[in-house]
Each structure stands twice: as C-alpha cells, then as structure tokens.
Chain A
Amino acid sequence: MWNYEKRLQFPVNITSPNARLAQAIISQYGGPDGEMGASMRYLSQRYASPYREVSAILTDIGTEELAHLEMVATIVHQLTKDLSMEEIEESGFANYYVDHTVGIWPQAASGFPFTGAQFQSTGDIITDLMEDMAAEQKARTTYDNILRLIHDQEVCEPIKFLRAREIVHFQRFGEALRIVQDKLDSKNFYAFNPGFDKCPS
C-alpha cells in the first residue's frame, strides 16, 4: 500500500508561463519514456522476481517514479496555469487546450496518449531488468533533449534533478541484474527465467 507525502521530492517554483516548453515536457508525464510508464513498469514487474532484493529495488524505484511523475505534472501545471488566450493560440498549445484546457493529461509531446504498450512486464526478471536499464537511459536522453530546449533556470533545476536520478536508477538496476546473474550458473546465464523455469540444482 502507499501513503501520500504532501511535498515535492525536489522544489518546483516556475514564475513565467511557457506553453511551448510545457508541450515538450508533458512527454515525461505520459510519453514513451516518461515517468508514468516508468512507475507502472517497475511496480508491475516486481511480482515476477524470485529474489527479495530485486523486488525491493523495483518497489522503491517504482515509488520514486511516482514522485517524479508529480514533479513533471507540477512543471507543466506551473508553465501553463497563467496563459492568456493569445499565448495559447500563438504557441501551438491550442490542440492540447481544446481537449484538456490547462489540465494535466498523460500524453507524449506528439499528442500520442499514454498506453501500457509503451512498456513490458515479461514475467522474466532478467529480460525485465535489461528493459529497465534501457528505460533509464532513454529517459535520461529525453531529459537531455528537454534541457537543450530550456532557457529558464527555474525549469532547468528540477529537470536536472530528474535527469540525475535516471543515472542512479540505471546503476541500481545494473546491480540488481548482477544479483540475479550471480545466482545462475554458466549454462543458464542468458537464457533462463529463474522465476518460472525450475532450477535443476
């Protein structure tokens, strides 16, 4: 179960609206490498892990991703809450506005809606951890791309924090994969599902 803590993991205080930037950053809410996919991926995958340490890291990183989801939503909210109708029309924000006004909805920057098809939960912890390491790198690349679009320090700081977390999570998933592989022998190192196939020990 979960409890809500009424604060952000890292402060977000954006004072200048910017609809164009909000449209790019929304991708880290509901896009293919966004925080919603990240949290749902890890929190779904953890049941198939036969190793407690690995279930724990999936639970705790999946939980931290929910805090990141809230930070991204806060950034988009603060970038859009005081927009004038002129700014909405001139910034290309009208397509989002027509369906959602300035509410928060999970979509990619392209407008493609969030879907569970953006991530896997294969029931094979080795396969899943390989995906998780790739997912952290993809999210880090997306944050790099976002940082090149930002010229406002107030937006830059929380995005830099989120980018740094991808690197730490990549490291921890690498260690989790190492833990799993240390429990296998040379015959099943790459092609064995330790949660489903019975180990002939």
Chain B
Amino acid sequence: MNMPKRLHPLQLIQSFVRLLANNIVFIVIIFVLRTGNESTFITSIRIGFLLIIAVQFIIMIANWWKTTYVFTNDSVHQYRGVFKKRHHHIHIEQIENIQQKTPVYFRPFHVTSLVLHTRSTDSKHAITFEAVSDTEAANIRERIDSFRKGELQVEQSETFQQEDVSEEKKTIHYTSDNKTLVRASVLSLDLIIIVPIALTIFERMKDILPIEEIVDTFVAIATKSWMTIGLTGLLLIILALLIGLVKTFLTYGKYEISSDEKRIFIKSGWLNEKEMSIQKANVQAIRMYQTPLKKWLRMSEIMLVSTATDEKDGFGVLSLFPFLSTKRAHTLTEELLPQFQISKATTKLPKQALFMKMIRVPWVFLFVLAFVFIFKSSWAFILPVIFVGTYVGRYFDYRNSRYSFVDHRIHYYSGGLSSTLFTTNRKEIIEVEVTQSMIQQKLGLATIQTTNKSVPVHEESLADIDVEHAEQFIDWYGKRTNDVAKNLPSM
C-alpha cells in the first residue's frame, strides 16, 4: 500500500504569486500611487488588504497540506479541502488522456504539472496535479502505462491474439522545422492581437501616467492624412509580424507528432512545454480547415473531433499542427488514423443553390451598415468591402461545395473564401437532421446536418443540396445498423 503524497511545495508559491498577480492593480493603487497619503482611510484599507492576503495564504498552506493523492492497484484517489472535504477517485482504466504541462518557471526546479482526463464529458472529472516533481510525474505515467499494459495482456490472452503489440513502438510522423515556422508566423498575421494587448497596457497605464494625452496626440497625427494612415498601418503590420514570429516560435517550436498502435502524441512549446496524447479510437471525425491565406499557400489545419475533454484544447476539437501543407495533411491523417479515408467528394450543388445562397439575408453586412450609419459614418469605406466579400464568398461557396456519402463514409467540402473539409464514418454519427426553409422547399433544396460525439457535440452541416439527395442521405443513415453489431438485451 502506498502512503498518501502531497503536491510539490512549488504549488504553494505558484498560487501565492497568482494571488498577488490577480491583485496587482489594487496593490499598485494602494501602496505605490498613494505613498504620500497617510490618511486613516488608506491606512485601514492597507491593513485590511494585508490581513486578507495573510488569511488567504494561511488557507493556501492548509489546502496544500490537505491535498493528497494516493495510487492503489487500479485507481487514483485525490483528497482536497480543509473545511469542505472532497474525495475524488477514478479508475486507472478510465483515464483517457494524460496531459503534461511545464510552465517556464517550473523548469529550473524540475517540476511539472499533470492532468488525468477521464472518458466523462465533464471536465470536472479530471484529476489535476498542479505541481509534482519530474520524477514523480514519470512515476505516475509509468504506473498508468503499466496498468494499461497489464490490461492489454489480459485482453490478449483472452482473445489469443498472435501479434505482440508493444506500447513503446512510437513512430515520429512530424517535426516542425524553422522554414515552416517562419511561413506560419507570416500567416498568423493577426493584426487583431495587437489591439487587445495595446488596450490592456493602455488601460493599466492610464491611471498612473498622463498617457491619455500622448495617445490622443498620436492618434491625431496618425489620422491626419492618408500618408500617415498608411505609414501607421505599415508600422502596425511590421509589429504584428514580429509579434507573430515570436508567438509562433514559442507555441509551435519543437513541435512533434508521433503515434503508437493506440494513441497519438503531440509535443510542443519552446518555453512552456506541452505534451498531450489522445486515443485513436476516440477520434470521431476529421476536419480540415483553410483560411483564405492558407488556401492560397496550399496549407491546411487538421482538427480532430474527439471525445477527449479539456477546455484549453478547444472543447474536444483538437488541432494537430495548423500549418501543414495540404498534401502532407492528407498523408498524415492516413498514417495516424487509417479508419478515416479522405477521398474526393463528387456531387456538386444544383443550380438553384446559387440563387438560394444569393437571396439569404446578409446579416453581417446589415449589422455593419446599421453600426456605420448610427455611430461612425466615417467608416463607410468598409461597407463595399464587406458587401463584395460576402457575395463573392457565397458564389465560391456554391462553386466549391461538394459532398458524398458512399459506403460508411461521408465527406463535405464547403466554404467560400475559407474552406472546410469534413469527414466521418457513419457509425460515429450520433444523429442526423434534414431541414428545409420555405424557399428551399420551392427550389427543391435541403440542408443536411450530422452530429458527432464531442464536448459539446460537434455539428457539421451542408446547405442547399438537392432534396432527393437529402432523402438518400436519410436512407444512407438508415443503413447505420450494418456498421454496428448489437448486444441485444434479453427480453
């Protein structure tokens, strides 16, 4: 029997630093900005604040002291809580994913964090080790792996399988190189990320420095003439490129995709190392997405729709490396997940679909229109851009949309300026839907939708296909019973 263990004390320091960081604005205000102020009011606030921090720190210590975990033969137990006790326990066989993250400040201490995810769709059912030493993390992984292996051997001896499946046989499928990363950073030309960063800095600084006037003057200069507007734009783009470069190297540097018989492993990160694995059997569908720029450069992002649960990884939709060449993306999915096959979908949308797409209400355009006329009439120049973008996008969506449902596979291709490819197998679809609006009925069109298991469920639809094909689609789904065998209940 094992002794209950505690988390690494670094967890305590981490949460204390976090507590201070969360209150940084407040601390600056009451201790730095009001240094000269010795009024009783400010003093009492300071004392009160220090008291609260002290109490919280004591609670933290108690919490750390009371947070223990223990491994038994087949399960993990975690105990938390000083006043409200919580006992959390999961069976090792229920563990689906192990996620390991090493924040940069943990690294010098050889400490890391682990999350054990279960099959349950609720992320609360995961066990988190906020801080454990590297050796302990390796021990935990080892324990879970050896349990799995034991289970595997039992299964094998029961089914008399000939092949010896070794868990250690990992194949590396992809590693990122600098060239791809540089290209990727150009692609993530998110001008948008500057804005929130600038705004946050601005907001924080405003109270301390007379920065508002500086910014106002700057804005006045920048918007004075078309020249300065252009120059500012150029500067912003260069800034965005630089930020993009640093960001991509930090998040996608040292990216590695590998797999064994049962799982796919993703390792990434330059500073914050991140490692995660996903069971192949949990992948429900594959989605490949191209932004307009990526389409032009023939790159795709592979997304795996899975039952794995972690909010940080986008609620069950997990992105493999987002900057793969489309060709490589296709071969990689074949290597990793042979149960899915990506083939060319052939059926196009009927002619009426174009009409249908054109007469849909352009909501985005209308909202922008209303916004411009009510608040900012000087922004009217973006209206034609949005208008043309909307309708060109719709036209290409009509041209590019394709679908097929043959055997047990379904494929959708869609998208105007961006593009999406979606594929899944019939037995992974948990629900189908066919809808028709009044105009679609008149034109003989319908929208089909499939639902896959994920967190939350993943819905994928294709609008304006021939209504007869929509009926065939329902019939096709009716053959799902061929793909699954059932243990009928005894009646």
Say whether A and B bind each other. no
